[in-house]
Amino acid sequence: MARRKIIAGNWKMNKTPSEAVALVNELKPLVATEDADVVFCVPAIDIIPAMEAAKGSNICIGAENMYYEESGAYTGEIAPAMLTDVGVKYVIIGHSERREYFAETDETVNKKVLKAFEHGITPIICCGESLTQREQGITIDWIRQQIKIAFLNVTADQAKTAVIAYEPIWAIGTGKVATTEQAQEVCHAIRVCIGEIFDQATAEAIRIQYGGSVSASNAAELFAQADIDGGLVGGASLKADFGKIVNYK
């Protein structure tokens, strides 16, 4: 069975609630497609207005982060039930910016992944190597370790529904996209790793995105690769170009 493509925008810390409504309204007609799942991961405060604006369209509104406890004394955090209560179905977990600036580790990523599944939210689990790691030739080892820890205690049935975003850190927001061969090589290695942790059926079902300077000009070639099932898009998801990325064919 062919995997359905999933193309997600990661708005990061951009757009006020009123700007979010305007952007959803602008992009709504441009991202209409029946061929892929389209997700806008937006700042927490934008989730509700963005959902209102997206009503009746194919856009699914997701979150950019979530905490791994149910509730309580965790000032500033968002609980999983807060997301599900308003109908959020996707959450980005362990983006490299969260790892770099907010001290997230493979272990906290694993806790968040487990919590997301417990609440029926699909995690978009991020992994990726730094430029130094790539130059040292340890990219695949590094990614395999990130994946193995992220999926600790996850069941095969859960893993089948997960989304993994492979995002080389050196390609994020730099305009320096990985070559198609580099992106495919790592996405393939991730699928092999999932096959080892679980089984072949899980490896074939899980969706793996590429992220890092995806644009209207490189999306078609990237998304045509055997192991690349769509993209996680930062900068270009805030522009009309996102429509071209979603309708890349």
Q: Which residues bind ligand PGA (CB under 6 A)?
A: 10, 167, 172-173, 211-214, 232-236
**Pair of tokens at residue 97:** 């910016």
Residue 41 CB, shortest distance to ligand PGA, in Å, is 9
**Pair of tokens at residue 46:** 């934008």
User: How many beta carbons lie within 10 A of that of residue 15, not counting itself?
Assistant: 21
Measured from each CB, the residue nearest to ligand PGA is: 234
Cα 184 to the chain's mean position, in Å?
16
Residue count of the chain, please give it: 249
Residue 6 CB, shortest distance to ligand PGA, in Å, is 13
By beta-carbon proximity to ligand PGA, the closer residue of 81 and 131 is 131
By beta-carbon proximity to ligand PGA, the closer residue of 137 and 175 is 175
Residue 233 CB, shortest distance to ligand PGA, in Å, is 5
Residue 67 CB, shortest distance to ligand PGA, in Å, is 20
Give the DSSP H/E element, type plus range, for residue 233: strand 230-233
By beta-carbon proximity to ligand PGA, the closer residue of 190 and 214 is 214
Residue 238 CB, shortest distance to ligand PGA, in Å, is 9
By beta-carbon proximity to ligand PGA, the closer residue of 117 and 166 is 166
By beta-carbon proximity to ligand PGA, the closer residue of 159 and 171 is 171
Q: Any idea which residues carry the catalytic annotation?
A: 95, 167
